[in-house]
Chains A and B, each alone.
Chain A
């Protein structure tokens, strides 16, 4: 049987049933990595020896009956901004090129307790700042669907690794869309949970009030299983929330009858779902976001909405409001927090230190200027500026007030809807090199994902189509806080209806030229 064709949950079952050994699973991943990693560059660090040693331990525990969970023995890749004890953790930056933590992030510990085998650390935008994984110090990751395109970011490496079948699942982090957008670009499923659901201890902080860790996998079931394993209340994280409702797999039910789904006109413009709640939007807002949206993406998402409606969901257009203010508010808050969070990287306690300096402050400046990439420096400068004397009220406090209003807008929306649909990005994956020249344009492409972080809400991205050029299209579903189960139910329902179309295909990569049509022809479709 083709191990690589199994989802994480399926693999876990077969391992429990002794049909596959942990070692076999791990070796299958490594041989796939050997075959395709050179093309995709998903990983910063691959730890074969360590993974095999761990596989041996886990197998023993499974044989003894002490590890019986769904993820026991299943290999996983971890985004390189989560600390892993004894394993290089770089945040894809030069300034941490030699940093080996002596502690492990709580989310990863939860996976290890469940019997996961960590294969390696995946590539990302440096310090999670970026939307294409092109700002990594360790080279770009390519989109497995088309190697000339980006995988998205900042969890590009994790999404590419899953899409390329190098690992069954991976962990990513999401501050402004960094799980959802690359998941959409790579045709995989990714979820950012409600803020506070997964401990941030051991996650190298970017925007502390916005960061969350989440799973990236092949299907909705896997995401539910993984999220269930990593969600926990952690005493080491003061912002960690104690939740009783983390049995997310209980929501994997094919039923959306009566589920109220809202489609914001601000994102889509007018849609076939208009008519019931036609209000005046705030003009320019609706125009900008809706205009930037690629027609193919819009069509795929509306088609998905239609299938859910056919299953009994109630779908309606509405006005969300404030959409255009989300991005400036986000960038003020995120870069302000980042400028402070990244101050610790100074060559004193860990990481890179410059060789040429005369005195202390010179050492600081050189180390940081040599160690950080352009985008990181840009955001640190902006963040320092907006917090500086005289500007704090006008920028930072203003952004926090805007955040309060955005949260309120979502609260209003969720009083009428269970789920809000949105794109995950305005276009499918752009070409490599196309985005970096215009940072502002790159920031604007986050328009559908960042308000979710500002309001602390859960959001999932699932594949709903392909562009004419064969690139994946993703749809985002946003829920009210703590309502991941509704998201899982709706996403699972959609996926069951369309299983044959999106989830079962994957790019081959072992041939010279790739294309989805070729895959289809090669007959890799699963029943």
Chain B
């Protein structure tokens, strides 16, 4: 009788905050940039340098804590975590162990049709390390401290998840919250959200937890899913063979779909945490908490409900519109201008998503303005431009955020509704396409398309296609 095993998963998620400057110094956090061009004595650990806390980091951390139903620790402090590694310029990381800023929260997720709460054990602020680049030609590594000191919040969950679906749902929920709050753009591939998976297995019905391992280097949802499934199997195999699961950190290689232990004798894992003497405690008043709470924007769940009710948008559409705060903001703003929610929704769901996917981008990368989208909707709705012209104009809006009214005038794209001119062209088309005419009259409705096509081509696409169709039918059916 095969034993049934349950997977028990907890996550440690690091989120890079979207502040302009680092957590303890006024260097820019801008992504990219030549190595070490965003550095100063503080974030490179020079002798005599001292940290000064960025207030925005505290406010973002509070916002995320409140949005995940945590209790805010009203007197919190920083601690030093001591370990030697070149990406850590002081060979200690300023983090929070003893008094993290938020504790005992939860998020609600839905996976496999079931709703569930995933509890958050704690959330704390800390600084990121620099980047190590492994040199290909020489036996050395290169250190870039641009990322050193970028603010992070680490969100530690309880081991409440039981499958990779739940894990993905949890991550998507955290990402949505952070994006909606503007706290982070949470892009796994860019490293602004990083997840370490703690996994153990146990027999179904057992009350004790098994030994867990920690997995790192999971750079996509796909990698996370594979890693979870792979590790579950590896642990089950060990147990069935009567061997013990060793508590260790494993690095996942998604190409090989395999993990290996990252053990080092040189790393005692004894971090000797003690309160950071160079920083003073943070005292968070009830008023401050209320202020942050009041600034919290409408989150996705509330928007979903509202779109359905207020704009009569179907569930599926509303989900896409609210999948990103950027998209939702554009939807709401454009709708407020032109008052045509369904049309705006259509442009976002169809054309916008198509162009984003083609360019490998995400909704948060949208650069066009709601004003221009609203103008386009009005132009198309009024028949001033036809649908294929509208598509063309939209591509320009998407890429360059052009003003469609100006563009249509400059390029002379107005639909031609002149019945006289069209009638003339229709007559010419009928004369020069006897086969198509014969086919049409013989019952092939589609043959009309060739005639329409010729007229549209002659009019450079600006003819009113409805009118063209109507005229042709009129002339041929009689």
- Chain A residues in contact with chain B, CB under 8 A? 82-83, 89, 91, 96, 99, 101-103, 105, 200-205, 208-209, 235-239, 336-337, 339-340, 343-346, 348-350, 360-361, 364, 384, 387-389, 392, 396
Contacts and interface: CB of A to CB of B under 8 A. Distances in A.
Contact of B270 (A103, A202, A336, A389): A389
Interface stretch (B15-23, B27-35, B225-233, B272-280): B272-280
6 nearest CB pairs, A to B: A343-B91, A387-B272, A208-B277, A209-B277, A202-B48, A204-B47
A205 B45 CA distance: 12
Interface string B85-116: 01001111000000000000000000000000
B194 interface: no
B280 A396 contact: no
A350 B274 CA distance: 26
Interface SS of chain A: helix, strand, loop or mixed? loop
A522 to B, nearest CB: 43
Interface SS of chain B: helix, strand, loop or mixed? loop
B414 to A, nearest CB: 60
B143 interface: yes
B244 to A, nearest CB: 23
A364 B84 CA distance: 9
30 contacts: A83-B46, A91-B47, A96-B47, A200-B48, A201-B48, A204-B47, A236-B52, A237-B52, A238-B278, A238-B280, A239-B50, A239-B280, A337-B274, A337-B277, A339-B82, A340-B92, A343-B92, A344-B47, A346-B84, A348-B89, A349-B89, A360-B86, A361-B266, A364-B84, A387-B82, A387-B273, A387-B274, A392-B272, A392-B273, A392-B274
A237 B52 CA distance: 7
B49 interface: yes
Candidate in B45, B89, B143 with the most chain A CB atoms within 10 angstroms: B45
Contacts of A392: 272-274
Candidate in A83, A203, A348, A364 with the most chain B CB atoms within 10 angstroms: A348
Interface in B139-163: 143
Contacts of B77: none
Contact of A238 (B45, B90, B92, B279): B279
Nearest to B275: A400
Interface residues of B, number: 29
Interface of B: 41, 44-53, 80, 82, 84, 86, 89-92, 143, 266, 270, 272-274, 277-280
Candidate in B89, B91, B273 with the most chain A CB atoms within 10 angstroms: B91
Contacts of B277: 208-209, 239, 337
A99 B53 contact: no
A397 to B, nearest CB: 9
B272 A238 contact: no
A83 B82 CA distance: 24
A336 B82 CA distance: 11
A348 B143 contact: yes
A480 to B, nearest CB: 21
Given A349-B46, A361-B84, A384-B272, 8 more contacts: A204-B47, A238-B280, A337-B274, A343-B90, A344-B45, A346-B91, A360-B86, A389-B272
Contacts of B48: 82-83, 101, 103, 105, 200-205
Nearest to B80: A340
A337 B84 CA distance: 16
A203 B41 CA distance: 13
A209 B266 CA distance: 30
A346 B89 CA distance: 9
